[in-house]
Amino acid sequence: MKNQNIIIVGGGFAGVELAERLLNADLESHIILVDKNNYNFFPPLLYQVATGYLDVSNITYPFRKHFRGYANFSFIMGELIEIDTENNTAILSTGNISYDKIVIATGTVTNYFGIDSIRRHALPMKTITDAIYLKNTWLKRIEEASRTTDKDLRDQLTTFVVAGGGPTGVEIAGMLTELKKDILFKDYPELKGLAFEIYLVDGLPKLLAPMSKNSQAYALKSLQNNGVIIRLGHNVQDFKDNTVYLADGSKISSSNLLWTAGVTAQRFNGLKPESYGKGNRLLVDAYNEVLGTKNVYAIGDTALMTSDPKFPEGHPQLAQVAIQQAKLLAKNMIAKMKGKAPIQFEYNDKGSMAIIRRNKAVADLNGPLKHLNGFPAWVIWVLVHLMSLINFRNKLTTFFNWMNAYITKDQPLRMIIDSHTDSKK
């Protein structure tokens, strides 16, 4: 087998899974992982970092430590700028690397749908940096609300609008209700009697659109019963002057717009425009090779495959898709090196789930039992997410944090740690 340079761009679910599989296959190939961060993180739990229920270290782990001990592994911190397909070169923000195969597993970024005011002022939740900034921001605004005597300003600072009725929007709206019920007024007695309104807004007529009607109905009722004001069929059109403007002409006075309304993949120089499909996702064949290219692959959220008979419009952008594509691509790469035929990808849909709040979740399953909600679904959600963390350390620390939060209905992680604060003042 020829000694090859295999570059993997992106260290999320897909990138780490692929790297692990290739490294454990004892190939002579050199595996190079490229990421703009020096750590892996677990996106499904970002909202718990943003609301102070988990520490950053619970859901992150350094790449260099995780892959320590592999002589044929290298990590490069940088961003992919261009792929020179003629010369098989990846042009990064930190230098150039030649490749025999390159795999793009860069996931997605926040989509603001071209609304500049939302891009500048809303609070996204796509990265660790976003989660930390969101936590610092809402805590600062609550502190300000506890000091001010201006009632209108107080209401604006303590009203939260969550844009996006998918799992992330539902989960953070539910977590905010727990903060309101169990923590806020204990920490801030000055705010007792304040409404602390929580809105959940989505342009579609239902929450959790990809899930079953049972899950949608349960989520809607659970959130409403806990005081969340649901506005369905209403897109957010603008956000300025502490006001959220909806497409129907109505508006909500709030300083806090939490943006979970959409994502888009990234485009890279060097790849032809016809290689991209809806949402900037790279069009790939049944083996995850980018159409119109050679030795360029894409997996996970950034890939759009239409050859799977069960998913002719492409697969959902879920962790399980990314992991399964990474596993098969590793297997196919190894088979190809050995002169064997590759296998076409077909997604094995194991179902989907979303947590709503304490003891409440929904799960759609592909088995004899099709749907669960309430406490049983919550237990499954906890176990699945706990076991999906990258290593034992993260699993253990997250478990103890969750146990503490569950027993005490509290979590002492509401510190404002602002990297922009001048410590010399």
Number of Cβ within 10 Å of residue 147's Cβ equals: 9
Active site residues: 171
In the numeric block, the tokens 């995780």 are attached to 66
Separation in Å, CA 15 to CA 229, 253, 341: 38, 41, 23
Number of Cβ within 10 Å of residue 96's Cβ equals: 12
The answer to whether residues 211 and 362 touch, using CB atoms and an 8 Å cutoff, is yes
d(CA 32, CA 52): 34
Q: How many residues does the chain have?
A: 425
CA-CA-CA-CA torsion sign (66, 287, 277, 168): negative
Which residues, at least 6 apart from 287, have a Cβ–Cβ distance to it below 8 Å? Answer: 297, 329, 332, 342, 344, 345
| Residue 254 structure tokens | 């709030």
* Burial 152-191, CB ≥16 within 10 A → b, else e: ebbbbbbbbbbbbbbbbbbbbbbbbbbbbeebbbeebeeb
In the numeric block, the tokens 């709206």 are attached to 173
d(CA 227, CA 374): 18
- Alpha helices for 292-414 (secondary structure H): 319-337, 375-388, 392-408
Which residues, at least 6 apart from 74, have a Cβ–Cβ distance to it below 8 Å? Answer: 30, 31, 32, 33
Strand ordering across the sheet containing 73-77? 73-77, 30-35, 5-9, 101-104, 296-298
